[in-house]
């Protein structure tokens, strides 16, 4: 049951060095993943807190995040950029009816899929203002998932949750990514 | 050394979905699959299937590959399927009566 997932990362970055018009930046992102072409379009928030959450132990929901390094150099009036990153993304799994050894329903279980990935991208950036702070970027890249696991659990009021987990093989290990990006540099 | 801070929004055209887990759909066929999650053995109970209903059942893994098929399941049939050699994870049990198909998700848990 292959799924297509669209990522929407929101990043902050700081320029860490400049050399001969080439600059390097370190980028932190929080990302939201969206599932396309599935019967259960739903996404896991990249940050949230729900009192009485179904999440075991606490109500804090932490979804996707990542860290990347980008090198850019001028290319005419544009910029050529190379980007490498490590990250995590999360999506909900469809809810599952938990049953006991006697076929009695014991509740609806929740599931989350967590993926750890590494990615590389090459981008062209077009400045959209005179100071070149606002830029539009696009290009192509490759992302590889090196760990994909799903965790399911059945919350129980005040008691210990029934939890199980295992690898998730439903996603392609390698996917082509087509980034479309807007950035604004402050300062 | 420049110390510039930026903000990037990587936006690909899409519509925002719900941030809540999706709800489960009501069952079509009266075939019980239990326990769920399971570790080695999963039981399939067709006791409540209507007498005139005949279904086929097949297990499909997450890569969409069927690996166990049981044809002509009738009311009162009971099966115990040993999946101890299969990796843990999510499996799909497809129940089909020739005109309708229902997919039941079952989890093989990982012993800690």
The reported pLDDT for the residue numbered A136 is 94
Residue pLDDT tens, chain A, 187 long: 456 677 788 888 888 777 778 899 999 998 888 777 666 656 787 777 765 555 555 667 888 999 999 999 999 999 999 999 999 988 888 788 888 888 888 888 888 889 999 999 999 999 999 988 899 999 999 999 999 888 888 776 555 566 777 777 777 788 888 888 999 988 6
Question: How far does Cα B39 stand from its chain's mean position?
Answer: 15
The reported pLDDT for the residue numbered A150 is 85
Residues of A in contact with B102 (CB under 8 A): none
Cis peptide before A118 (omega within 30 of 0): no
Q: How confident is the model at residue B17 (pLDDT cuts 50, 70, 90)?
A: very low
The reported pLDDT for the residue numbered A187 is 67
Mean pLDDT of B30-39: 87
- Taking an 8 Å cut-off on Cβ atoms, the answer to whether A15 and B4 are in contact is yes
Mean pLDDT of B51-75: 87
Question: Does B64 or A64 have the greater pLDDT score?
Answer: A64
The reported pLDDT for the residue numbered A112 is 85
The reported pLDDT for the residue numbered B109 is 80
The reported pLDDT for the residue numbered B24 is 64
CA dihedral A41, A44, A49, A52 (to 10 degrees): 60
The reported pLDDT for the residue numbered B105 is 84
What are residue A115's DSSP bridge partners? A89, A148
Radius of gyration of chain A (CA): 20
The reported pLDDT for the residue numbered A3 is 60
The reported pLDDT for the residue numbered A14 is 81
The reported pLDDT for the residue numbered A162 is 66
**Residue of chain B with shortest Cα separation from A152:** B107
The reported pLDDT for the residue numbered A137 is 94
The reported pLDDT for the residue numbered B15 is 32
Mutate to test the interface with B, among A5, A67, A103 (most CBs of B within 10 A): A103
What are residue A181's DSSP bridge partners? A137, B10
Q: Would you give the DSSP letter of residue B77?
A: -
- What is the rounded distance in angstroms from the CA atom of residue A16 to the CA atom of residue A92? 36
The reported pLDDT for the residue numbered B13 is 36
Of A18, A45, A108, the CB nearest to B2: A18
The reported pLDDT for the residue numbered A41 is 55
**Residue of chain A with shortest Cα separation from B5:** A14
Mutate to test the interface with A, among B2, B3, B10, B31 (most CBs of A within 10 A): B10
Question: How far does Cα A99 stand from its chain's mean position?
Answer: 32
| B100/A contact by beta carbon, under 8 A | no
Terminal C-alpha separation, chain A: 47
The reported pLDDT for the residue numbered A159 is 53
- Taking an 8 Å cut-off on Cβ atoms, the answer to whether A99 and B18 are in contact is no
Mean pLDDT of B85-112: 84
The reported pLDDT for the residue numbered A116 is 95
- What is the rounded distance in angstroms from the CA atom of residue A179 to the CA atom of residue A7? 9
* Dihedral sign from CA coordinates of B81, B31, B75, B47: positive
Structure tokens at A187: 């300062």
């Amino acid at each position: 049951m292959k799924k297509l997932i669209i990522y929407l990362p929101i990043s902050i970055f700081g320029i860490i060095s400049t050399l001969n018009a080439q600059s390097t930046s370190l980028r932190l992102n929080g990302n939201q993943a969206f599932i396309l072409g599935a019967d259960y379009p739903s996404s896991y928030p990249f940050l949230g807190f729900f009192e009485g959450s179904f999440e075991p132990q606490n109500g804090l929901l932490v979804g996707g995040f990542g860290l990347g390094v980008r090198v850019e150099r001028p290319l005419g009036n544009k910029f050529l950029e190379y980007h490498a990153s490590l990250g995590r993304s999360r999506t909900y799994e469809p809810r599952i009816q938990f049953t006991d050894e006697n076929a009695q329903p014991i509740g609806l279980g929740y599931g989350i899929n967590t993926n750890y990935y590494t990615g590389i991208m090459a981008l062209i950036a077009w400045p959209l203002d005179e100071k070149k702070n606002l830029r539009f970027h696009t290009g192509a890249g490759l992302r590889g998932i090196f760990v994909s696991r799903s965790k399911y659990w059945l919350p129980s009021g005040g008691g210990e949750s029934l939890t199980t987990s295992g690898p998730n093989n439903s996603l392609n290990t390698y996917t082509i990514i087509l980034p479309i990006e807007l950035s604004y540099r402050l300062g | 050394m420049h110390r510039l801070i930026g903000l990037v929004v990587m936006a690909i055209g899409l519509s925002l979905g719900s941030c809540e887990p999706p709800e489960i759909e009501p069952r079509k066929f009266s075939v019980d699959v239990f326990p769920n999650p399971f570790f080695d053995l999963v039981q399939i109970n067709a006791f409540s299937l209507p007498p005139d209903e005949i279904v086929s059942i097949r297990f499909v893994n997450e890569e969409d590959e069927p690996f166990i098929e049981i044809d002509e399941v009738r009311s009162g049939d009971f099966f115990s399927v040993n999946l101890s050699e299969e990796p843990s994870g999510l499996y799909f049990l497809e129940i089909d009566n020739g005109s309708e198909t229902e997919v039941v998700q079952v989890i093989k848990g990982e012993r800690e």
